[in-house]
Amino acid sequence: DELEEEFKKEKYPSTRRPIKETAWRLTQFLD
C-alpha cells in the first residue's frame, strides 16, 4: 500500500529505520 509506505517513510526516515529492518538489511548485505 503506497500510503502506508509513505507513512513509514514519514515516521521512520532513512536515518532512523526500525531495528528489525536495519538488521534484516545488514544480514542481506553480509550474506
The whole-number pLDDT of residue 17 equals 57
The whole-number pLDDT of residue 14 equals 58
Q: Number of folded domains in the chain?
A: 1
Angle, CA of 22, 31 and 17, to the nearest 5°: 5
Q: Which of the four pLDDT bands, split at 50, 70 and 90, describes residue 1?
A: low
* Boundaries of domain holding 22: 1-31
Per-residue pLDDT tens digits for 6-27: 766 666 555 555 677 778 888 8
The whole-number pLDDT of residue 19 equals 76
Q: Which amino acid is at 26?
A: L
The whole-number pLDDT of residue 24 equals 80
**The cell 529492518 sits on which residue?**
21
